Amino acid sequence: MEQTTHMKQFSSDIQVFLGTRQVSRQILREVESTKSKFESSKNYELKVSMHSLITILSNELEEFGKIKVSESATNFDFRDLKLDQAQIETIVPTSRNISDIKLQLIKSFQMKSTHKLEITGCVILPNGNLLMANDTEENHLIEYSDAGEHIRDIPVSGPPYDIDRIDLDRIVVTYGDALYIEIMNCKTFNVEKKISLQHSCLKVSQEDGRLYVVYGKAKIQVMDISGNQIETLKITSEGITCIKTSRQKIYYADYSTKEVHCFRLNGEELWKLECDSIKFPYDITLDSYHNVYVVGCVSNNISIIQHDGKNSKTLLTESDGLYHPTALDFDTDKKTLLICNEEGNVALYKFV
């Protein structure tokens, strides 16, 4: 429209006529083209033709079927990890007579330190490394590889006295005269829980989520991992030097009577055995067959007691390098026995 107005203002009549005619022809061609496209387009209609048999069947039937809901108990096999672990732990290996048990030395080495060594506890960590408690004023645990390589000294809050495994991630450490124990992560050695005690504690053992702490001469305090007091077990012994718990049983040695005791958690005594060959039993541990190993710190030997308490024999003596042995631990997975002398001589044995 603007072009036509402009053409009328500035062009002659003949130019306006010719220009208008040219525009009209162009418009006509566009219209004809559009009409042609519309006339060539087609409409489509979709129809469904049912088969005659289906039509007859649908007329005869009132319904094609019914939906029924039935209820039954699920058969999903769900296993709780803790339950599986508990079941595994209750599997007791076939008993082995102690007369058949022999030890073969794997590795022995002398711990190196610029300070005094006084090893009073040890444990084989889940990663296979060896952790020793050095009961001196240096206030540290000492970690070695099973090949005898020093890994690190681990600062702790006091002179550590005893160590025990709680699970694959945690250990518990005692501090002698201190009125507390600590639960640590056994990878980072960060303290996860500090538990206050009513009395000083030397030895401790863990069983089924409970800690068994030796109080004084004739008491064993039972508490959970959080430190809640559960009960106090009173026993007749006057000089408990070491304790070990396993499979609902408690084992301990009495230095005053040279006796090793085994009783149930309810206080029922199963057996006791006097071992004249053991002078000042300093530590105790168990193997996979539930046989008992006791170190004699003064007698410089290690004795084994059969799981039923009926027999015993001396396994190692001073001639095997024992001089004031004070700590030992048994790895049930690898079946290796760790032994530490007071001044830091360490030996690893395997069973043959």
Tens-place pLDDT, residues 182-232: 999 999 999 999 999 988 888 999 988 899 998 766 688 899 999 999 998
- Taking only the tens place, the pLDDT of each residue in 137-182 is 889 999 999 999 999 999 999 999 999 999 999 999 999 889 999 9
Question: Is it the case that residue 6 has pLDDT exceeding 60?
Answer: no
- Between residues 352 and 289, which one has the greater pLDDT? 289
pLDDT value at position 84?
43
Give yes or no for residue 61 having a pLDDT over 70: no
Domain 98-351 has CATH 2.120.10.30: yes
Residue 247, pLDDT score = 84
Order of strands across the sheet that contains 240-246: 240-246, 249-254, 259-264, 269-274
328: pLDDT strictly greater than 90: yes
Q: How confident is the model at residue 7 (pLDDT cuts 50, 70, 90)?
A: low
pLDDT at 241: 86
d(CA 53, CA 40): 39
Read off the DSSP letter of residue 238.
S
Nearest-angstrom CA–CA distance, 211 and 248: 12
Closest CA to 248 of 217, 298, 210: 210
> Of 6-15, 57-66, 165-174, 189-198, where does mean pLDDT reach its minimum?
6-15
304 in Cβ contact with 292 (< 8 Å)? yes
Q: What is the pLDDT of residues 220-279, one digit of tens each?
A: 889 999 999 999 887 777 788 899 998 889 999 988 888 999 999 877 899 999 988 999
Q: Are strands 201-207 and 191-196 parallel, antiparallel or unpaired?
A: unpaired
Specify the DSSP element, H or E, that contains 140. Answer: strand 140-144
Q: Identify the pLDDT of residue 202.
A: 87
CATH 2.120.10.30 domain locations along the chain: 98-351
Q: Is the pLDDT at 72 greater than 70, yes or no?
A: no
Q: Kindly report the CA angle at 25 between 20 and 28, in degrees rounded to 5?
A: 125
Point out the least confidently predicted range of 80-94, 141-155, 299-313. Answer: 80-94
Report the C-alpha gap between 229 and 220 in whole angstroms: 11
